[in-house]
Amino acid sequence: MKIERIEVIPIEVPLAQTFWGSKYSMSERATLITRIFTDCGIVGEIYNGDEVHTQHEIAKIITEELQPMLVGEDPLLVERCWEKMQILTFDILRDRKLVIMAMACVDSALWDVVGKSAGLPVYKLWGGYRETMPVVAIGGYYGRTDQELAAEMEDYLEMGLAGCKTKVGGRSPEEDARRFKAMQAAGGEGFVLMADANVGYTPAEALEFVRLVGAESLRWFEEPVHWYNDTRWLRDVRLKAGVPVAAGQSELSRKGAGELMASGAIDVCNFDASWGGGPTEWRRVAGMAAVYGVEMAHHEEPQIAAHMLASVPHGTYVEVFHPDRDPLFWGLVANRPPIVDGTYSLPTGPGWGVELDADYIDRYRQDR
């Protein structure tokens, strides 16, 4: 089997409202659909990322630089293809992150080819550990009253979700604690809550937030401190507050994620395959995490994250957004598995098992 060509389709969907995190906002949901065509008729296809401002640059890297490298290669030799692509990251005069995200798109599509060739879902191709995963929302954005936040949690309960990762770090610890408690009361007993500061707090503010809500209320505290000394400060928050700490989505490689583990900074690694080089690199990070006794998570992207998390014993939760925040997962995926009693069933089809809605693609594609 040989790779014949690679196609990339940029998608952008306007959101009904702007969603505010600690230091950022989102008004559109964007992604790249990557298709790898082979000489035997198998087509690997999946979507990755949420890069509104850089998606066309990433697509150009795939079609103009990665495609010439990979045409004629055997797509089943994923490690070989990954190593060939990595050469582009050695250019110190360019933005390495864009290349790594382009690699992630291609790497993900390669694994779809492998799964379809073998007739197996990707998570079973990797050995598999479970066939269902607990699923939580990412929500609790700013700009909503306590009553609206409570209603949002009630929506998640009606959707069958097991919990929510809520946004903090953009206000004072006292205000964020009040917001958190409103969501906690609405979710009720058994509703899992995480807090995600998106590197918004100082260490002292992070510790104060935990003191106000109680460490026992948090499944984990994600990216609680500013990025510029995060390894040391993550460790400090973890040890001083006695709360599980999650981080890793901002890392671009196994090196950064490994340093977080080796320094005792995290309990949960949420390395993002779409930002960090693809599932091939994520699985390397997951192997390190198993050695250090660190759990594995994944920053959103349920269409690929479910397979990765289900393939290892130390996987945690699949993360989804409310349909208003991520219309792609709820509209682009034509065969989305149902969510029942807080669990997400893994697709049974080969590869990623994802069928994309052609009409939805035509409506929102940005290359015409």
DSSP per residue over 128-168, as a string?
Answer: -S-SEEEEEEEE--BS--HHHHHHHHHHHHHHT--EEEEE-
- Whether 154 and 297 map to the same domain: the answer is yes
- Identify whether 287 is part of a domain: yes
pLDDT score of 184 more than 90: yes
- Is 278 contained in some domain? yes
* Amino acid identity for residue 302 in this structure: P
What is the pLDDT averaged over residues 128-153?
Answer: 97
Residue 153 lies in a domain: yes
Rounded average pLDDT over 106-135: 98
Query: pLDDT digit string (tens) for 309-340?
Result: 999 999 999 999 999 999 999 999 999 999 99
Per-residue pLDDT, 368: 81
Same domain? For 52 and 198 the reply is no
Region 104-110: what's the mean pLDDT? 98
Residue 302's alpha-carbon distances to 9, 46, 177, 259, 269, in angstroms, are 19, 12, 28, 26, 16
pTM for the model: 0.96
Assess whether pLDDT exceeds 90 at residue 163: yes
Cα 335 from Cα 353, distance rounded (Å) = 8
Averaged over 6-35, what is the pLDDT? Answer: 95
290 and 246 housed in the same domain: yes
Does 351 reside within a domain? Answer: no
Give 249-267 pLDDT, tens digit per residue. Answer: 999 999 999 999 999 999 9
**pLDDT > 70: what percent of the chain?**
100
Asked if residue 287 and residue 237 are part of one domain, the reply reads: yes
- Per the listing, tokens 């998606």 go with 55
Q: Are residues 196 and 292 in the same domain?
A: yes
Domain count across the chain: 2
* Residues 197-256 pLDDT 10s: 999 999 999 999 999 999 999 999 999 999 999 999 999 999 999 999 999 999 999 999
Region of 73 on the Ramachandran plot (φ > 0 left; ψ -120 to 50 alpha; else beta):
beta
State which residues form the domain around 88.
3-119+357-364
Same-domain pairing of 109 and 189:
no
In CATH, what number is assigned to the domain containing residue 102? 3.30.390.10
